[in-house]
């Protein structure tokens, strides 16, 4: 875990109901035929790789949702009575996914979309030319050249297919704000928008919901493409107001704080309607849910 167009609706009204001006008028015994005016036609223009999302159906979450996120620990604690579990796509046992789905729990599956991790089973699939600088503080991890969607798409889409196979409801792609980091590539804000929108379209085409991880600066451009946001430490960095477009769009906001104590951020989180947790950095089973902490 790291800190890391809006569909343009063109309504085209087809209103021409008359024949050519040179058409002869009906004779005295001829009854004019009524001319049907076609119904308005809505033409949807999608960004690249997202065209199939118009009719795609994928699960939706309410704004208020209890949740747990766990990637480490001796064993996953699935006994919690929560609405949502966020689990690692690769490392989580299949039986865990099956157990949660049988209880009707919404399962988010985590993978890193903007970085290479040398311990993943598909690590050998990444061409050398897309591998950038080491990610500081994360041994074995390198930034990716997200401009090369042509090379990354087969890997990303294989992971989305795995998410389907494992019965995930949605995906949580990480490190999708590389343009703000020292990646080794001259990434621009436009490059990041294009990559993130590609991710959204590829997920939605497969019936998977998808969340935005961090990337606060681009929320106005991306809120329409993502189904929730997961943010780390917005209270610690005094930037939670940047998340509010998701609330205004009726979409859930999930927040994790590590350093601040629950008493220092939970009251404000509840006031803002955030689904906020206090977690350990290693994202083990420990959690303090702000709603429980405050007795709500």
Give pTM, 2 decimals: 0.81
- For residue 15, being part of any structural domain is answered with no
Q: Each residue of 107-145: pLDDT tens digit?
A: 999 999 999 999 999 999 999 999 999 999 999 999 999
Task: Say which CATH number the domain at 109 has.
Answer: 3.20.20.70
User: 103: part of which helix (H) or strand (E)?
Assistant: none
Report the distance separating Cα 268 and Cα 131, nearest Å: 40
What's the pLDDT score for residue 56? 64
Length of the chain: 296
DSSP string, 276-288: EEE--TT--S--E
Kindly report, residue by residue over 15-35, the tens digit of the pLDDT. Answer: 333 344 334 344 444 444 443
DSSP per-residue codes, 149-165: HHHHHHHHHHHHHHHHH
First to last CA, the chain: 28
User: How many separate domains does the chain show?
Assistant: 1
Q: Which of these ranges, 70-79, 138-147, 165-174, 241-250, has the smallest mean pLDDT? A: 70-79
Tell me what pLDDT residue 75 has.
Answer: 83
Cα(148)–Cα(272) distance, rounded to whole angstroms? 38
Examine residue 244 and state whether it is found in any structural domain, yes or no. yes
pLDDT over 90 (residue 3): no
Residue 84 included in any domain? yes
- 113 lies in a domain? yes
Q: For residue 239, tell me if it sits in a domain.
A: yes
Range of the domain at 253: 55-293
Residues 105/122, Cβ–Cβ less than 8 Å? no
Q: How far is CA 143 from CA 114, 184, 290, in A?
A: 6, 8, 33
| Nearby residues of 87 by Cβ (< 8 Å), 6 or more positions away | 69, 70, 71, 76, 96, 97, 107, 108, 109, 110
pLDDT band of 52, cuts 50, 70, 90: very low
pLDDT at position 153, please?
98
Whether residue 250 is predicted with pLDDT greater than 50 in this model: the reply is yes
Note whether residue 10 is domain-resident.
no
Name the residue among 99, 96, 141 with its Cα closest to residue 2.
Answer: 141
């Amino acid at each position: 875990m790291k800190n890391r167009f809006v569909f343009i609706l063109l309504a085209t009204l087809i209103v021409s109901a008359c024949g050519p001006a040179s058409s002869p008028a009906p004779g005295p015994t001829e009854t004019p035929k009524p001319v049907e005016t076609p119904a308005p036609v809505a033409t949807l223009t999608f960004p690249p790789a997202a065209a199939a999302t118009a009719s795609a159906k994928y699960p939706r979450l309410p704004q208020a949702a209890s949740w747990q996120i766990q990637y480490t620990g001796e064993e996953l604690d699935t006994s919690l009575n929560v609405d949502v579990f966020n689990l690692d796509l690769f490392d989580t046992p299949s039986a865990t996914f099956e157990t949660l789905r049988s209880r009707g729990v919404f399962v988010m599956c985590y993978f890193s979309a903007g970085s290479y991790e040398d311990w993943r089973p598909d690590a050998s699939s990444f061409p050398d030319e897309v591998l950038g600088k080491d990610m500081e503080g994360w041994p074995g991890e390198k930034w990716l050249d997200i401009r090369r969607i042509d090379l990354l798409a087969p890997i990303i889409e294989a992971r989305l297919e795995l998410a389907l196979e494992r019965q995930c409801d949605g995906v949580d792609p990480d490190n999708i704000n590389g343009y703000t980091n020292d990646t080794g590539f001259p990434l621009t804000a436009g490059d990041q928008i294009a990559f993130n929108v590609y991710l959204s379209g590829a997920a939605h085409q497969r019936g998977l919901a998808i969340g935005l991880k961090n990337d606060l600066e681009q929320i106005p451009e991306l809120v329409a493409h993502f189904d929730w946001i997961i943010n780390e430490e917005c209270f610690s960095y005094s930037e939670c107001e940047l998340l509010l477009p998701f609330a205004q769009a009726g979409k859930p906001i999930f927040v994790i704080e590590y350093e601040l104590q629950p008493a220092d951020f939970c009251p404000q989180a509840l006031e803002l309607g955030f689904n906020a947790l206090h977690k350990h950095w290693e994202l083990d089973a420990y959690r303090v849910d702000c709603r429980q902490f405050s007795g709500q």
